[in-house]
Structure 1
Amino acid sequence: MSDLRIAVILGTTRPGRRGEAVAQWIVERGNARDTARYELVDLADYPLPHLDEVNSAKMGQYEGEHTKTWSAVIDQYDGFVFVTPEYNASISGVLKNAIDYLYAEWTNKAAAFASYGVNGGMRAVQQLRTIASELELAGVRQSLNLSVFADWQEFTTFAPGAHNDPTLETMFGQLESWAGALQPLRAGVAA
């Protein structure tokens, strides 16, 4: 196994959220590859108030203990899989807030996107790609878009179909390749 560490960020804290099962499935499938270590980072475990830092995240001068804790969590990873629902054609407010707290901790790392919703959450992924580019977070091409019609039984029980396997494997491969390729930049070595 490589030394790559990938955070699977569960981007909703909503009661009854569907994303918990999705994120856990991605962690299990990622770790089954034995090519990187995938770990769940659940935003519900990091209660961040609406952005309350005085300084811009680009300065990295955090005052709040909650921000310092969040910074330490995110900083340790080489890449991310953002698991997001689509709420009103975008990502959840809690995910945007968590992203906005930090800057350097996201930079020169790789990101993949797994979304779900009536339309597979594709519009949420579009929003995340725009945000990622501003953070110098390299978004991989392949995303996983899960439909509540095809991947849930009676809209309540997550039951991903085998049709997702090739997409998931491609996404993992791209994410791990980019996360590894960006390691020298994170180490401060000219590529």
Structure 2
Amino acid sequence: MARPNIAVIMSTTRATRFADKPARWIHDFAVARGDMDVELIDLRDYPMPFFDEAASNAWVPTQNEVAVRWQKKVAEFDGYIFVTAEYNRSIPAVLKNALDYAYPEWNRKPAACLGYGSVGGARAVEQLRLMCVELQMAPTRTGVHIQGGDFYEALLQGRDIETLPYIGENAVTMLDELMWWTKALAAARASSD
């Protein structure tokens, strides 16, 4: 397999979002490994309306032009890293909407999660993993969580993410798992074609 193509998807489009910081950090961290191509994807570039199609694009072609462009972008990747905020114990609505607008494009590919919030986005990440399973993705066991005081220091006081004592080690493990699943699932997809 050639170097896998991995998307880092920012989960929120709010003007005051924190997502840019951890998304850029994990993007650069993954690129520095040298074993994957990584692209930062901003949902602001795909302003899809709330899902109102006749059915999933697994069954009926999508009519919305932005959603079709989104599906084509999602299909380009071998795996995904979702950078998600936690909103009211779940993922942001714009991410759920983006997930719903694609189906076959996600299938049989791995997903890793970087969460942030008061408990490291753990509740959002757990729900996101369940959604990934429904979309036939393989979520990694390990994630990266920016939690509690670390999150607030990074958000309000501009603390650099890489100075967090645990984050680099978690990122290495998460990316190792993502690479393993990317290669395994790419081989499996190739053998079933």
| Shorter-chain TM-score above 0.5 | yes
Q: TM-score range by the shorter chain?
A: over 0.9
Distance in 1 (alpha carbons) for counterparts of 2:63 and 2:188: 27
Looking at structure 2, the residues matched to 182 and 87 of structure 1 have their Cα atoms a distance apart, in angstroms, of 31
Tell me how large the CA RMSD over aligned residues is: 1.7
SS at match of 1:56: coil
Does the 8 Å CA contact 1:18/1:158 hold for their aligned counterparts?
Answer: no
5+ residue gaps, structure 1, are none
| TM-score normalized by the length of structure 1 | 0.93
Q: Secondary structure at the match of 1:48?
A: coil
Q: Is the 8 A contact 2:142 2:173 kept in 1?
A: yes
Tell me the residue number matched to 1:34.
Answer: 34
What residue number does 1:181 align with? Answer: 184
State the Cα distance separating 1:10 from its structure 2 match.
Answer: 0.2
Q: 1:116 to 1:129 in 2, by over 3 A?
A: same
Secondary structure (helix, strand or coil) at the match of 1:63 reads: coil
Alignment partner of 1:105 is 2:108: no
Q: Encode CA deviations 1:132-179: one digit per residue, 9 max, x unaligned.
A: 111110001001111151245363225221421110000000001101
CA distance, structure 2, for counterparts of residue 154 and residue 138 of structure 1 = 30
Letter of the 2:192 partner, please give it: A
Matches within 5 A, 1:42-191: 42-59=42-59, 61-153=61-153, 155-156=155-156, 157-160=158-161, 161-187=164-190, 189-190=191-192
Q: Match of 1:170, as an amino acid? A: T
What TM-score comes out, normalization by structure 2 length? 0.93
Name the one with the larger helix percent: 2
Partners of 2:46 and 2:186 lie apart in 1 by: 26
Deviation of the 1:3 alpha carbon: 1.9
**Greater shift in the superposed pair: 51-60 or 138-147:** 51-60
Query: Which stretches of structure 1, 4 residues or more, deviate above 6 A after TM superposition?
Result: none
Whether the 8 Å CA contact 1:149–1:155 is kept in 2: the answer is: no
For 1:128 and 1:65, locate their aligned partners in 2 and report how far apart those are by CA, in whole Å: 25
Paired residues, what number? 190
Paired amino acid for 1:175: L
Distance 1:162 1:42 in 2: 27
Percent of matched pairs sharing the same residue: 38
Q: What is the one-letter code of the residue matched to 1:190?
A: S
Cα deviation for residue 118 of structure 1 reads 0.8
